[in-house]
């Protein structure tokens, strides 16, 4: 019998109860797994390790390449980064797979509609890159990074996952109507790759309409692929459609590595009370077994969960904590139901997912031409737009760049700006080539230095023209 080494991280709060329940159920199938316990999260933060992930845990994951993990507590609004995000980034688990399906005995407003969908979320870039700066004392910035490589990998995973489970449709959900370069990158990549999968229907939807449609008619969706922040939000929404986060498993997949965990958090107020719903972690264990090629055991556990729910063994998150089945009892019922099949309910047959093999070259999409045609010089100032604009025009009068416009939080305020705009101290001052020809970036930096002698420059951004197309967007009201 094949034995598998798996790093297990019990986690914080309710994590240990859920993870130990999953281990008991997986062991009951007879699959040979050597569980190697390691730690991350709150207890590690308290040891003074800022990442929340100690070296022993990193070493273990590097060896086993498979992790079953409980939820980890994360400081909110201050202090260290999320240990969850740290693990995803350390091991480049770029694809987050979050399935939800209607379950027997779990009554929701959507019962009977046959919800069975998967959110495939890009997992390491976007706003979750966590690159933030205070631009002024009252204006914060977060960089939204969407790469061509990251978009290609997540799109291919979405189609490959659909094929692995016999699914028929993939929908790409973006906010590309507003963020045409970042969110638009995912949309354009999706539309380029979709023809390679003629057996799967491909479509695009704006993310806010996707959320609307998920509430209105969720069963229309099969697989949804989206960016990191969007995927985080709508996957929580989809879990609510089938009964809540207690039923929401997930897999974080990279090339040759996988981390399986529930979508829910550590819920410390319920820790140690034997009342929590372990189903999300149990089903994460099912996803782990499929990844390991143990498809029969995975199907047995999924069927056993369905039978247990069909019998009415519901935990407190579904029927109230004064009425629900205890965590330990629920786990024992699932183990007792191994080998049984729920009447009227099926599980999807699955095959191993084929992970995309994408070039590791940092220069993923080289440009034929790339010219600097101007610069956005961001200035911290309490002057009015007219006062600031006049000053900048005087400073740049002899420079090879000329002031085109000033915007404030994306809306043009100079020249001829909207007087209704309530400005803040952070101004984007767009300078373009005076001659219309490309410039050198050092010329823009020299202008920024001259401006900084009078005003406070807080950021400089190149305006690029790549392969003949503008690589920057215009402000609201800019010609």
Q: Under 8 Å CB-to-CB from 266, ≥6 apart: which residues?
A: 11, 12, 13, 14, 15, 41, 42, 70, 71, 72, 73
Given the residues 12, 89, 126, 128, the one annotated as active site? 128
Given the residues 208, 274, 416, 470, the one annotated as active site? 208
Given the residues 89, 175, 404, 412, the one annotated as active site? 175
Q: Under 8 Å CB-to-CB from 230, ≥6 apart: which residues?
A: 121, 173, 174, 175, 207
Could you give the dihedral angle defined by the CA atoms of residues 396, 402, 406 and 409, in that order, rounded to the nearest 10 degrees? -100
Counts of helices then strands in the chain (DSSP H, E): 14, 18
Q: Is 89 a catalytic residue?
A: no
**Contact between residue 241 and residue 100 where contact means Cβ atoms under 8 Å apart:** yes
Q: Under 8 Å CB-to-CB from 362, ≥6 apart: which residues?
A: none
Q: Is 330 a catalytic residue?
A: no
Given the residues 232, 300, 317, 376, the one annotated as active site? 232
**Token pair recorded at residue 189:** 């990549």
Stated length of the chain: 479
**Distances in whole angstroms, Cα of residue 345 to Cα of each of 108, 324, 348, 420:** 17, 23, 10, 59
Q: Is 232 a catalytic residue?
A: yes
* Rounded-to-integer distance, Cα 406 and Cα 396, Å: 14
Secondary structure class of 143 (helix, strand, coil): coil
Q: Is 291 a catalytic residue?
A: no
* Rounded-to-integer distance, Cα 113 and Cα 312, Å: 20
Catalytic positions, please? 128, 175, 208, 232
């Amino acid at each position: 019998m094949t034995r598998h080494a798996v790093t297990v991280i019990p986690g914080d709060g309710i994590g240990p109860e859920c993870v130990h329940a999953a281990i008991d159920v997986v062991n009951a199938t007879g699959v040979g797994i050597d569980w190697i316990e390691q730690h991350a999260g709150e207890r590690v933060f308290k040891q003074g390790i800022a990442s929340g992930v100690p070296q022993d845990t990193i070493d273990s994951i590097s060896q086993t390449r498979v992790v079953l993990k409980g939820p980890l507590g994360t400081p909110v609004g201050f202090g260290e980064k999320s240990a969850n995000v740290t693990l995803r980034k350390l091991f480049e688990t770029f694809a987050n797979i979050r399935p939800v399906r209607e379950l027997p005995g779990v009554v929701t407003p959507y019962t009977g509609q046959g919800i069975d969908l998967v959110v495939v979320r890009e997992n390491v870039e976007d706003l979750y890159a966590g690159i933030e700066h205070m631009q002024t004392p009252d204006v914060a910035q977060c960089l939204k990074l969407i790469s061509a490589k990251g978009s290609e990998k997540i799109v291919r995973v979405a189609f490959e996952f659909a094929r692995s489970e016999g699914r028929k449709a993939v929908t790409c959900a973006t906010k590309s109507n507003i963020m045409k370069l970042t969110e638009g990158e995912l949309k354009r990549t999706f539309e380029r790759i979709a023809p390679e999968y003629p057996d799967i229907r491909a479509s695009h939807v704006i993310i806010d309409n996707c959320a609307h449609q998920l509430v209105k008619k969720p069963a229309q969706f099969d697989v949804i692929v989206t960016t990191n922040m969007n995927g985080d939000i709508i996957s929580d929404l989809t879990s609510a459609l089938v009964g809540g986060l207690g039923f929401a498993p997930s897999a974080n997949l990279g090339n040759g590595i996988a981390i399986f965990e529930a979508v829910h958090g550590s819920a410390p107020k319920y820790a140690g009370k034997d009342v929590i719903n372990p189903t999300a972690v149990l089903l994460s264990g099912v996803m782990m077994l499929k990844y390991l090629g143990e498809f029969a055991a995975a199907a047995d556990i999924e069927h056993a969960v369905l039978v247990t729910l069909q019998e009415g063994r519901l935990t407190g998150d579904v029927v109230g904590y004064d009425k629900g089945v205890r965590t330990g009892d629920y786990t024992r019922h699932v183990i007792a139901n191994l080998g049984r099949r729920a009447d009227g309910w099926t599980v999807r047959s699955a095959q191993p997912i084929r992970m995309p093999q994408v070039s590791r070259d940092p220069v993923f999409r080289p440009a034929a031409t790339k010219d600097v045609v101007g610069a956005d010089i961001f200035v911290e100032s309490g002057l009015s737009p007219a006062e600031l604009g006049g000053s900048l025009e005087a400073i740049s009068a002899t420079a090879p760049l000329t002031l085109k416009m000033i915007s404030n939080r994306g809306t043009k305020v100079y020249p001829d700006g909207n007087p209704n705009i309530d400005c803040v101290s952070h101004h984007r001052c767009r300078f373009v080539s005076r001659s219309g020809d490309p410039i050198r970036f050092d010329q823009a930096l020299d202008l920024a230095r001259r401006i900084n002698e009078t005003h406070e420059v807080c950021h400089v951004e190149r305006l690029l023209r790549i392969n003949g197309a503008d690589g920057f967007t215009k402000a609201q009201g800019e010609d």
